[in-house]
Amino acid sequence: MRAINLDYGAATPVDPAVLQAMEPFFAEHYGNPTSVHDLGERPRLALAEAREKVAGLLGAGPEEIIFTSSASEANNMVLKGFAAAHRSKGKHIISSVIDHFSVLNPLRTLEKEGFTVTLLPVDHHGLVDPEQLLQAITGETILISIQAANPEIGTLQPLAQLTAVAREKGIPFHTDATAAVGFVPLNVQETGVDLLTLAGDQFYGPKGSAALCMRRGTRLLPLLEGGIQEKGRRAGTENVPAIVGLGMAADLAREMLAERSSRLSILRDSLQKNLFAAVPHLHLNGHPHLRLPHNLHISVEFVEGEALLMHLNMAGIYVSSGSTCTSQALKSSHVLQAVGLIPELAQGSLLFTLGTGSEAQDAPYVAEQLSRIAAQLRRMSPLYQKYLKEGDR
Amino acid sequence: MRAINLDYGAATPVDPAVLQAMEPFFAEHYGNPTSVHDLGERPRLALAEAREKVAGLLGAGPEEIIFTSSASEANNMVLKGFAAAHRSKGKHIISSVIDHFSVLNPLRTLEKEGFTVTLLPVDHHGLVDPEQLLQAITGETILISIQAANPEIGTLQPLAQLTAVAREKGIPFHTDATAAVGFVPLNVQETGVDLLTLAGDQFYGPKGSAALCMRRGTRLLPLLEGGIQEKGRRAGTENVPAIVGLGMAADLAREMLAERSSRLSILRDSLQKNLFAAVPHLHLNGHPHLRLPHNLHISVEFVEGEALLMHLNMAGIYVSSGSTCTSQALKSSHVLQAVGLIPELAQGSLLFTLGTGSEAQDAPYVAEQLSRIAAQLRRMSPLYQKYLKEGDR
């Protein structure tokens, strides 16, 4: 049986060139970059090189890159660290209803500590309105944190418009760009963001590799305190192999971004076309074109996404029912609620994310399988039976 | 020129068996353990297996293991998470003056938030007195955090005695066992600790691999909030290769601990004997026998540790002047101050930590080199000239 991974959003394989770059740093150049003797030299140079590469992908300076262990850590660091550093200036933070839980949950914690949080709504495509952002800003606002791309529905926010509002009001702007980096151009100068979160394992770097890009002059208190690593901004022995891998992945992404994205969006558009041609009762979620090139989010009417996922899995097709971070919790997605999808459609959701292994021939095969599986499941749906009867009248 | 690493405390090479165990999880079994489809299966099983291995090393249950990205993260998580969860019960935390900065710095932050911190003193060997711990406990005390072994002077604390005091008073006990795990037996039942921090890169596991062992029923608020990973106790995509590597390193440590420690302590004792025979004006720091088997900390009178380190480095001998986390800061060590070492001796300190590559023939060679280098440097020391003159009288 063919195995087709359409869940690259959950994990990407480490690129062979990335793994090759990492390998010498496990057992050969295993020194601690903080050591002043020769064993620290190669790791230290490798860190500096990786820092330049990650900075290069974002149009930032190397000293603006802080390596972390995950995007979640970077998001927690920004929100808690910014709140701690600037609470005397004000206690209001703005985000969006569809941001990731590693932004939303720290904000809930901050609310318990006396902060006020405004979560901006989104339209039915998942877009935040810059005008609503402007209206939400108060004299107490110290930070705006709005994601670059939604990892479920794929919608890309109008970052430059949002940061223009923030800049006009003098409020620092953070974006969780975890789902976006490596797939859409994200230059911190052009987009005007002050803080940006990225994760290597989203674009063929290793797990455990991530970074926060922080504009010169931005101040936050460290979340991980201890040693002097990352100029005192993030304590803990540097994960040299992971950082080297992230650097290489960033370099590859910079070189291949246009080609990679173009290839993926063509394959994605073909998958979408095949699915909509083969499977009745489909709904496209997210923005029709302002979305990630490798993302396709649909709802299949009259059936449960989890059942679809299980049956597709048996057919060797790996998809997600939504955000991986919550998929085992089987909760209905806060994102789909926020875009106003009715529960009957939200529960029939499938998220396809394409990647290096995706091929043109996958689309008709996946469409055929989904058509077969959806038809089977639909027949068992009382709602579908009711729909058929009403259709008969 | 021979290269002799005597700074394994700064970093250990990844064991070949550890690297071999990790390798399939970069590009082959790269799935996200949280995925419900088949690609999540192998990584999920690998996580469970690693969790059992780490628990096995400590005599804990697998559900008591929380994987983190570093010991610093685990320490921050304990102190900040415990303070946040139990602040209504009391706002007093006890630690020691020689604990690591990833314990001491979070405590300083907690002090700014209204907590009171007692740092217990140590004797000139670096030992905390259980009687002083008992006296420090108040009705407000919610946590005691005292390291298992000091990463600089190597002193092992009398953990069982200290936890007995804590247990009598009903106060949870955390130990930062980063320097100790893999080298001395650390069973959480026998030592009676409730929370324990360890890091894989101290005992031939990969960088970026660490864990907090937390006794069932202990409660703390997560430091990294977001997804439901680690049962909601630590958000962020699991670093599967690093965790698999940590599991394998824990397994090897459990199997080989006695043999490894015995071999290292014999080599260490030989190094100590050779050094003291060849080099005049040496002082042994830390406890003469209650210390890590691979640790030797000395002070060389009349010379600067940094100069010694640089000259030894030129001779291909890699040592540290103290804790790696602060070595680039070139600050005098808080540990050496705490054990009452006079500044003249503290600044002439050298830390030797032995490891897999250490051999019996290293000792006479290192002693010969240190003797030569110390003699050269000593001659330039005004204090030494003064000492000679006084000796002449």
**pLDDT single digits (tens) A134-183:** 999 999 999 999 999 999 999 999 999 999 999 999 999 999 999 999 99
CB atoms within 10 A of CB A258: 9
Residue B86 has pLDDT above 70, yes or no: yes
Please tell me the pTM assigned to this model.
0.96
Please write the tens of the pLDDT for every residue from A34-49. Answer: 999 999 999 999 999 9
Question: Where does the pLDDT of residue A332 fall: very low under 50, low under 70, confident under 90, or very high at 90 and above?
Answer: confident
The single-letter code of the amino acid at A272 is Q
Please write the tens of the pLDDT for every residue from A344-362. Answer: 899 899 999 999 999 999 9
Residue A393 has pLDDT above 70, yes or no: no
The answer to whether B226 touches B34, Cβ cutoff 8 Å, is: no
Question: Chain A contacts of B15, Cβ < 8 Å?
Answer: 27
Question: Chain B contacts of A322, Cβ < 8 Å?
Answer: none
Q: What is the mean pLDDT of residues A290-316?
A: 95
Q: What is the mean pLDDT of residues B258-279?
A: 98
Please write the tens of the pLDDT for every residue from A59-80. Answer: 999 999 999 999 999 999 999 9
| Contact at CB, A325 and B34, closer than 8 angstroms | yes
The rounded distance, in Å, linking the Cα atoms of B384 and B302 is 6
Q: What is the pLDDT of residue B391?
A: 76
Q: What is the mean pLDDT of residues B57-65?
A: 98
Phi, psi for A213 (deg, rounded to 5): -100, 125
The rounded distance, in Å, linking the Cα atoms of A386 and A212 is 51
Say yes or no: A357 contacts chain B, CB-CB below 8 A: no
Q: What is the pLDDT of residue A331?
A: 59
Q: What is the pLDDT of residue A321?
A: 85
**Is the confidence metric ipTM above 0.90 for this complex?**
yes
Higher local confidence (pLDDT), A89 or B390: A89
Residue B279 has pLDDT above 90, yes or no: yes
Please write the tens of the pLDDT for every residue from B139-177. Answer: 999 999 999 999 999 999 999 999 999 999 999 999 999
Q: What is the pLDDT of residue A392?
A: 64
| Contact at CB, B34 and A324, closer than 8 angstroms | yes
Question: Chain A contacts of B309, Cβ < 8 Å?
Answer: 36-37
| Contact at CB, A36 and B309, closer than 8 angstroms | yes
| Contact at CB, B237 and A328, closer than 8 angstroms | no
Which one of 1.50.10.10, 3.40.50.300, 3.10.520.10, 3.40.640.10 gives the CATH number of domain A16-253? Answer: 3.40.640.10
| Contact at CB, A235 and B105, closer than 8 angstroms | yes
Please report how the helices B240-278 and B41-58 are oriented relative to each other, as an axis angle in degrees rounded to 10: 30
Closest CA to B304 of B290, B318, B321, B288: B321
Q: What is the largest CA-CA distance in chain B?
A: 84
Residue B211 C-alpha, separation from nearest chain A C-alpha, in angstroms: 13
Q: What is the pLDDT of residue B112?
A: 96
Question: Where does the pLDDT of residue B331 fall: very low under 50, low under 70, confident under 90, or very high at 90 and above?
Answer: low
For residue B81, give every residue at least 6 positions away whose Cβ sits within 8 Å of its Cβ, in sequence order, or none.
B220, B221, B222, B223
The rounded distance, in Å, linking the Cα atoms of A151 and A292 is 9
What do you get for the CA distance between the two ends of chain B, in Å?
43
Average pLDDT score, chain B? 95
Please write the tens of the pLDDT for every residue from B15-38. Answer: 999 999 999 999 999 999 999 999
The domain over range B4-10+257-391 is classified in CATH as 3.40.640.10? no
| A11, A100, A237: residue with CB nearest B201 | A237
Please write the tens of the pLDDT for every residue from A246-255. Answer: 999 999 999 9
Q: Radius of gyration (Cα) for chain A, nearest Å? A: 22
**pLDDT > 90 fraction of chain A, expressed in percent and rounded:** 92
Residue A198 has pLDDT above 90, yes or no: yes
Q: What is the mean pLDDT of residues B367-391?
A: 93
Q: What is the pLDDT of residue B328?
A: 47
Question: Where does the pLDDT of residue B332 fall: very low under 50, low under 70, confident under 90, or very high at 90 and above?
Answer: confident
> Kindly report the CA angle at B232 between B227 and B237, in degrees rounded to 5?
45
Closest CA to B50 of B28, B67, B74: B67
Q: Which two tokens stand for residue A275?
A: 């699915």
Residue B325 has pLDDT above 50, yes or no: no
Point out the catalytic residue in the list A160, A325, A360, A388: A325
Q: What is the mean pLDDT of residues B352-377?
A: 97
Domain boundaries, chain B: 4-10+257-391, 16-253
**pLDDT > 70 fraction of chain A, expressed in percent and rounded:** 97
Q: Which two tokens stand for residue A173?
A: 């702007």
Residue with tokens 């394992």: A201
| Contact at CB, B237 and A7, closer than 8 angstroms | no
Picking from B233, B237, B335 by the largest number of A CB atoms within 10 A of its own CB, the best residue to mutate is: B237
Say yes or no: A38 contacts chain B, CB-CB below 8 A: yes
Q: Supply the DSSP symbol for B155.
A: B
Residue A1 has pLDDT above 90, yes or no: no
> Kindly report the CA angle at A7 between A5 and A13, in degrees rounded to 5?
70
The rounded distance, in Å, linking the Cα atoms of B384 and B376 is 11
| Contact at CB, B69 and A221, closer than 8 angstroms | no
The rounded distance, in Å, linking the Cα atoms of A323 and B227 is 9
The rounded distance, in Å, linking the Cα atoms of B54 and B64 is 10
Higher local confidence (pLDDT), B1 or B219: B219
Question: Chain A contacts of B40, Cβ < 8 Å?
Answer: 10
Q: Which of residues 134-153 of A touch B (CB under 8 A)?
A: none
**pLDDT > 70 fraction of chain B, expressed in percent and rounded:** 97
| Contact at CB, B26 and A13, closer than 8 angstroms | yes
Say yes or no: A228 contacts chain B, CB-CB below 8 A: yes
The DSSP string of A38-90 is GGGHHHHHHHHHHHHHHHHHHT--GGGEEEES-HHHHHHHHHHHHHHHHTTT-
The DSSP string of B72-131 is HHHHHHHHHHHHHHHTTT--EEEEETTS-HHHHHHHHHHHHTT-EEEEE---TT-PPPHH
Picking from A34, A79, A243 by the largest number of B CB atoms within 10 A of its own CB, the best residue to mutate is: A34
Residue B50 has pLDDT above 80, yes or no: yes
Higher local confidence (pLDDT), A390 or A187: A187
Q: What is the pLDDT of residue B321?
A: 85
The rounded distance, in Å, linking the Cα atoms of A26 and B208 is 11
Picking from A28, A69, A87, A306 by the largest number of B CB atoms within 10 A of its own CB, the best residue to mutate is: A69
The answer to whether B35 touches A318, Cβ cutoff 8 Å, is: yes
